[in-house]
Amino acid sequence: DQQVKQNSPSLSVQEGRISILNCDYTNSMFDYFLWYKKYPAEGPTFLISISSIKDKNEDGRFTVFLNKSAKHLSLHIVPSQPGDSAVYFCAAGRETSGSRLTFGEGTQLTVNP
Amino acid sequence: SAVISQKPSRDICQRGTSLTIQCQVDSQVTMMFWYRQQPGQSLTLIATANQGSEATYESGFVIDKFPISRPNLTFSTLTVSNMSPEDSSIYLCSVRGDRAIMNTEAFFGQGTRLTVV
B116 three-class SS: strand
The two beta strands, B112-116 and A19-25, are unpaired
Instruction: Using CA coordinates, name the residue in chain B closest to A104.
Output: B42
Do B104 and A99 lie within an 8 Å CB cutoff? yes
Can you spell out the DSSP letters for B22-63?
Answer: EEEESS--SEEEEEEE-TTS-EEEEEEEETTS--EEPTT--T
Q: How far is B15 from chain A (nearest CA, A)?
A: 23
Mean predicted lDDT score pLDDT of chain A: 93
Nearest residue to B90 (alpha-carbon basis) of B18, B14, B30, B11:
B11
d(CA A76, CA B3): 27
Do A99 and B94 lie within an 8 Å CB cutoff? yes
Rounded mean pLDDT, A96-100: 69
pLDDT number for residue A97: 67
Distance of CA B15 to the CA centre of its chain: 20
What tens-digit pLDDT sequence spans chain B (117 residues)? 678 999 999 999 999 999 999 999 998 888 899 999 998 888 999 999 988 888 999 999 999 999 999 999 999 999 999 999 999 999 999 987 655 555 557 889 999 999 999
Do A95 and B104 lie within an 8 Å CB cutoff? yes
d(CA A72, CA A24): 4
Do B109 and A51 lie within an 8 Å CB cutoff? no
Are the beta carbons of A110 and A85 closer than 8 angstroms?
yes
Q: Is B94 exposed, middle or buried (0-12, 13-18, 19+ CB in 10 A)?
A: buried
Which member of B31, B40, B44 has the closest CB to residue A98? B31
Are the beta carbons of A76 and A50 closer than 8 angstroms?
no
* Main-chain dihedrals φ then ψ at residue B82, nearest 5 degrees: 45, 60
Q: How far is CA B113 from CA B6, B10, B82, B90, in A?
A: 11, 4, 17, 4
d(CA A100, CA A83): 29
